[in-house]
Amino acid sequence: MIEAIHYHFRMARGLLQMVREPKLADPDSLVRDQIVHRSERFLALLASTVFADPTHPYAIMFRLAGCTREDFEKLVRTEGLEPALAAIHQAGVYLRHQELKGREPIVRSGQEIFADEKSFINPAGYGAWEVVSSGTTSGIRARFNASGACLTWRAMYPSIVRREFEADGQPQVAVMPILPAPHVFSSAVRYHRAGLRLNQWFADGGTLRDSAHYRLATNLLVLESRMLGVRAPFPEYLPAHDFKPVARWIARHGASFVLSNISTAVYVSAAAQELGIDLSGTTFHGGGEPITLGKRAAIQKSGARCAPAYRTNDVGSVGFACSHYPESDAMHLMEDSLAAISHRRIAPLSAAAVNSLLFTTLLPVTPRLYLNLDLDDIGEIVPATCQCEFSKLGYRKLVRNVSSIGRLTGHGTTLIGTDILQILEHDLPTAFGGVPGDYQLVEDDRATGATLIVLRFHPRLGELSETAVRDFFLGRIRRLFGGAVTVRGWQHGDSVRVVRQEPYVGFSGKRLPLILSRHKEHNAP
């Protein structure tokens, strides 16, 4: 209870800081300037944070790699930023996702390097607004707090998306969770700064039994927003498994710009088709999971467009959709705030070789400074050939074919694969019998476009109650950081299935406990 009170106090203080942050003058010019000078400003950021502190984890990695500050600066200026990052990655300057979360020690050249949740904070970008709190019961709990300056900079990105999809004059609608997910409040402030307003907020609020305190805190934050001049709407709670109110609202108010995760966009589109409502001109903008061909087709069938976004809790906004690629998940890489390279490696939950993405945060006001951070995401980085709003500002690279190989990302939430393995390989066998390998979780979006979470248990376990297994599994998920929001979304979308079926064995001969959507080995029936 004390932690909950502290959390809501921090959010109230963060909202105040965010609203009071001065607006940026001529944002387009600032973006162009940052892209042109990204390397020099990044080197200055490194000098004031990493190289100024000999105990910084990255400073130790540089020393063990035999690379001085002068060496790296020369490499960047002669070879370019991305080639320089690739070179130091080969030398041992990088961070794995498991290392970041404290589940594995950071070891380079035989030396263990100490790091905790404060090690990668950049004071210039760290503030009171808690973007998300994540971690595991056994790892580091990290709060991803952003300053008003950082949030103000990131607020430019959705405005470019609205221009690109010609949605500036449309009603703005959110179909997103209430607290502890803070995204609607960030969006309301962004719209306020742009002279717009968030017109409507639809939410799954859970039940009064499990979410009453979050409903109360959400209402209090809406009231604070309004006192500060931000016209934030109170959430309208959707009936269980029902997205028809969203479709009807759009039918009354006309083509809209809808903030949602991808699976929610699929559900709203399906509801509109069931009601005979044409969503032509409406744009669904959001992320939380990969935009597959099935999801895109399900959304476009209603007449709507899809503008996916690629964001992560750790590094923020990675990419945003371009209207010139309506049949692809290609997104413009946010080169003002990130550098991205890829390298070939073996996926952590299979034997597949993949192109893993490595991210480096560049902004002077980035909340956390990372070099070559591997988040267990895979994808391709290619040149952009379009002349869209992003290209005109200098965003000349695309990231595409994005998916996760170590995290479950459906329905706008993220759970770490190793946390789920604990449930599948220990908790479920302890409660219902069996051994590791008898339970398998499959993220499946092929049938309807919406992501299904399918929990399989081996038929040899006997007549287990599927309802009991499902309730136990969801109860364990709730205990994870971010689990409460995850379970609310799964239950509202009726997205969890428990089936008596022998777990699928992949091409490598392994019975993988977790099979993620778009995974190369996922050809299971």
What residue ranges do the domains of the chain occupy? 2-145, 147-312, 415-515
The pLDDT, as a whole number, for residue 471 is 93
CA triple 423-429-431, angle to 5 deg: 90
CATH architecture of 147-312: 3-Layer(aba) Sandwich (3.40)
Task: Report whether 165 contacts 199 (CB < 8 A).
Answer: no
Summarize pLDDT for 153-194 with one digit per residue, the tens.
998 998 999 999 999 889 999 999 898 888 899 899 888 887
Summarize pLDDT for 268-316 with one digit per residue, the tens.
999 999 999 999 999 999 887 778 777 888 899 999 999 999 998 889 9
The mean of the pLDDT values for the chain is 86
Contact partners, residue 37, CB within 8 Å, separation at least 6: none
Q: What is the arithmetic mean of pLDDT over 419-433?
A: 87
Under the banding of pLDDT at 50, 70 and 90, the label for residue 418 is: low
Q: What is the arithmetic mean of pLDDT over 81-100?
A: 96
Summarize pLDDT for 114-135 with one digit per residue, the tens.
998 899 999 999 887 876 544 3
Q: What is the arithmetic mean of pLDDT over 341-367?
A: 86
The pLDDT, as a whole number, for residue 507 is 44
Summarize pLDDT for 237-256 with one digit per residue, the tens.
999 889 999 999 999 999 99
The pLDDT, as a whole number, for residue 433 is 92
The pLDDT, as a whole number, for residue 1 is 56
Summarize pLDDT for 180-239 with one digit per residue, the tens.
888 899 899 888 887 889 999 999 867 777 778 889 889 999 999 999 999 899 999 999
Better pLDDT: 272 or 12: 272
Tokens linked to 481: 């950081």
Give the torsion sign (CA, 157, 160, 161, 162).
positive
State what percent of residues in the chain have pLDDT above 90.
54
Q: Does residue 508 have a pLDDT over 50?
A: no
Cα-based distances in Å from 384 to 89, 154, 196, 260: 25, 21, 30, 26
Q: Does residue 525 have a pLDDT over 60?
A: no
Q: Does residue 497 have a pLDDT over 50?
A: yes
Cα-based distances in Å from 461 to 210, 310, 377, 424, 438: 31, 40, 34, 14, 8
The pLDDT, as a whole number, for residue 481 is 65
